[in-house]
Structure 1
């Protein structure tokens, strides 16, 4: 039989083990990540969010740097303003120019930096930093963004280790954006939408013009009928007078 002392010892040991597991799992689950807002389709454009949690109990995050992949450069990167944060977009020359929408792109965004300007990410909090990016590559299944997280005590956490398929998650994993197969031509869909809208407007204009034309024709015919009627009445009066005189 178990004595009260043995039960107490087992409970204490279990509590210590559970606490140790939670402490070990905590930092791994609180890493910087990138999340698509909607679908991040190959060859298209997407709005993505870098989610930055604060994993410290005694300091706040005051700076976040996200480095963009050089093997699949993105020509268009537009940050959404974040209250309390200053945003700097850094561009670099491309070793190989990109062709996009008939234009030659010679530089692309290499880094985006958010620096606290009245804001911060305090203990137990997180912040999202949205970006509109494109054109996403068609020959890749994912994009790896290496991130640096700076605290107000000058500590820097480097989220730069690329996760490997089938391997355990690294201690400081880099944010990874998964790319999905395109369901259709993103730009083509937008073009079709614009074309449909233009056609609708043209049809409305045509209907309006036809209605105006029909209304104008009716008015002309009405005026002609009135004139003919007046002429007929005048002719009848004159004929009556002639008969009376005779």
Structure 2
């Protein structure tokens, strides 16, 4: 009976692990965006993860629509050229396109990360970054579908980012971090002052001891 229970537990564990790995594999096949700590109205570094789903062609181009950002700066990538498209009137960033140099691309079974420093991000809980992925064989995949009515994920979902509530800092730096830094600086300054005061007292006591010792020596000679 004990062995039967152990066997069932092992089977259940393996089945659960396989389901998790399968789900992770499906999710990783999507173009996605991550930005830890991103806040509404703040600046952040956005990382777009792009896997190649084709078994015969490489990804050679990626275009991402931007929500009218005042600032959008790409990170240099060897073998890729990045161009930020801006509105000619307002100069806000509308999209960014990464294009692979000849002979370069994301091969089948591989993925690439495209980094963008951008902001201020919209004042909303979620923001979409619809993307267009182009393959070396001319195939184009649009990642622009929204969540289905029943709450399930579509076949080609738009990369979506969840934003934390605004901290009141235009650069998105958590207020708690600023408070911690100020407190640490204050404690450091206090420690320095205390050390200097104790050092001064030590010098005075040392000088006094030396004077008393010298006086004793003179008296003993007399």
Give the TM-score taking structure 1 as reference length: 0.61
What's 2:19 paired with? Answer: none
Q: 1:190 aligns with which of 174, 177, 180?
A: 177
Cα separation, 1, equivalents of 2:100 and 2:72: 20
The CA deviation string for residues 104-150 of structure 1, in whole angstroms up to 9 with x for no partner, is xxx5433222222464111232222233444433x312111121212
Q: What is the number of equivalent residue pairs in this alignment?
A: 193
What's 1:35 paired with? Answer: 34
- Report the CA distance between 1:169 and its aligned residue: 5.1
Say whether residues 1:200 and 2:187 are aligned partners. Answer: yes
User: Please, which runs of 5 or more residues in structure 2 have no aligned partner?
Assistant: 1-25
CA separation of 1:87 and 1:218: change in aligned 2, threshold 3 A? farther
Say whether residues 1:217 and 2:215 are aligned partners. Answer: no
What's 2:60 paired with? Answer: 62
The CA deviation string for residues 173-192 of structure 1, in whole angstroms up to 9 with x for no partner, is 32221224468974312211
Cα separation, 1, equivalents of 2:137 and 2:117: 31
Q: 2:80 aligns with which of 78, 85, 103?
A: 85
CA separation of 1:213 and 1:94: change in aligned 2, threshold 3 A? farther
SS of residue in 2 equivalent to 1:69:
strand
Contact kept? 2:28, 2:51, Cα under 8 Å: no
Say whether residues 1:130 and 2:115 are aligned partners. Answer: yes
Cα separation, 1, equivalents of 2:27 and 2:66: 22
User: Please, which runs of 5 or more residues in structure 1 have no aligned partner?
Assistant: 1-26, 96-106, 238-246
Contact kept? 2:106, 2:112, Cα under 8 Å: yes
Give the TM-score taking structure 2 as reference length: 0.67
Say whether residues 1:144 and 2:140 are aligned partners. Answer: no
Contact kept? 1:28, 1:172, Cα under 8 Å: no
